[in-house]
Amino acid sequence: MADALENDQPLLVATSLSKSYGRIAACRDVSFSLHPGEVLAIVGESGSGKSTLLQLLSGQLAASGGHVSYRMRDGVTRDLATLGEAERRFLFRTDWGFVHQDPAQGLRMAVSAGANVGERLMAVGWNHYGRIRETASDWLGRVEIDTARIDDAPRSYSGGMRQRLQIARNLVTEPRLVFMDEPTGGLDVSVQARLLDLLRSLVAELNLAVVIVTHDLAVARLLSHRVMVMKGGRVIETGLTDQVLDDPREPYTQLLVSSILPA
Amino acid sequence: MTAMIDITDAKKTFTMHLQGGIELPVVSGVTFHVNPGECVVLSGPSGAGKSSILKMIFGNYRCDSGRIGIRHRDTLIDLATAEPRQVLNVRRATIGYVSQFLRAVPRVATIDVVAEPLIVNGMARADAQARAGELLHRLNIPERLWQLPPATFSGGEQQRVNIARGFISDLPILLLDEPTASLDAANRAVVVALVAEKKRRGVAMVAIVHDDEIRHLIADRIVDVTSFAAAA
CB A2 to CB B18 under 8 A? no
Distance CA A137, CA A263 (A): 37
Residue B12 lies in a domain: no
Residue B20 lies in a domain: no
Distance CA B187, CA B137 (A): 11
| pLDDT over threshold 70, residue B30 | yes
Residues forming a β-bridge with A189: none
CB B62 to CB A239 under 8 A? yes
Query: What's the pLDDT tens digit per position in A157-173?
Result: 999 999 999 999 999 99
3-state secondary structure of A162: helix
Nearest partner of A37 among A213, A226, A183, judged by Cα: A226
Q: Whole domain around residue B129: which residue ranges?
A: 35-58+93-228
Q: Per-residue confidence at A259, pLDDT binned at 50, 70, 90?
A: confident
CB of B16 within 8 A of CB of B22? yes
B47: closest CA of chain A, how far (Å): 17
Distance CA A159, CA B201 (A): 51
Give contacts of A254 with chain B, Cβ < 8 Å. 16-18
Q: Does B227 touch chain A (CB under 8 A)?
A: no
Residue B199 lies in a domain: yes
What is the pLDDT averaged over residues A102-117?
96
A19: closest CA of chain B, how far (Å): 27
A219, A247, A252, best to mutate vs chain B, most B CBs in 10 Å: A247
Q: Which range has the worst mean pLDDT, A77-81, A86-90, B50-54, B204-208?
A: A86-90
Distance CA B116, CA B231 (A): 40
Nearest partner of A56 among A199, A233, A238, judged by Cα: A233
Question: What superfamily would CATH give domain A1-108+175-259?
Answer: P-loop containing nucleotide triphosphate hydrolases (3.40.50.300)
According to the model, what pLDDT value does residue A1 have? 40
CB of A67 within 8 A of CB of A75? no
Residues in CB range of A230: below 8 A, 6 or more apart: A42, A43, A44, A48, A49, A50, A53, A236
What is the pLDDT averaged over residues B201-221?
96
CB of A40 within 8 A of CB of A91? no
Distance CA B72, CA B172 (A): 9
Report the Cα B25 to chain-centroid distance in Å: 23
What is the pLDDT averaged over residues A71-90?
91
Q: Does B104 touch chain A (CB under 8 A)?
A: no
Residue B104 lies in a domain: yes
CB of B171 within 8 A of CB of B90? no
Distance CA A150, CA B100 (A): 45
* CB proximity under 8 Å: A 35-94 to B: 35, 38
Q: Is the dihedral of CA B96, B99, B101, B103 positive or negative?
A: negative
* pTM: predicted TM-score of the whole model, two decimal places: 0.91
Q: Which range has the worst mean pLDDT, A6-10, A230-234, B141-145, B215-219?
A: A6-10
Residue B140 lies in a domain: yes
According to the model, what pLDDT value does residue A263 have? 53
What is the pLDDT averaged over residues A212-222?
92
CB of A42 within 8 A of CB of A10? no
The residue of chain A with its CA nearest to that of B87 is A240
What is the pLDDT averaged over residues B6-16?
95
Q: Which range has the worst mean pLDDT, A83-92, A242-251, B77-86?
A: A83-92
Q: Where are the domains of chain A?
A: 1-108+175-259
- Count structural domains, chain B: 1
CB B88 to CB A1 under 8 A? no
3-state secondary structure of A93: helix
Q: Does B87 touch chain A (CB under 8 A)?
A: yes
Other CB atoms within 10 A of residue B19 CB: 10
Q: Which range has the worst mean pLDDT, B54-68, B90-104, B157-171?
A: B90-104
Tell me the CATH number at B174. Answer: 3.40.50.300
Residue B63 lies in a domain: no
According to the model, what pLDDT value does residue A8 have? 75
- Please write down the HEC assignment for all residues of chain B: CCCCEEEEEEEEEEEEHHHCCEEEEEEEEEEEEECCCCEEEEECCCCCCHHHHHHHHHCCCCCCEEEEEEEECCEEEECCCCCHHHHHHHHHHCEEEECCCCCCCCCCCHHHHHHHHHHHCCCCHHHHHHHHHHHHHHCCCCHHHCCCCHHHCCHHHHHHHHHHHHHCCCCCEEEEECCCCCCCHHHHHHHHHHHHHHHHCCCEEEEECCCHHHHHHHCCEEEECHHHHHHC
In b/e form, how buried is each residue of A169-197, taking b as 16+ CB within 10 angstroms? bbbbbebbbbbbbbbbbebeeebbbbbbb
Give contacts of A38 with chain B, Cβ < 8 Å. 85
Residue B8 lies in a domain: no
Nearest partner of B98 among B64, B139, B134, B126, judged by Cα: B139
Distance CA A35, CA A55 (A): 19
| pLDDT over threshold 90, residue A66 | yes
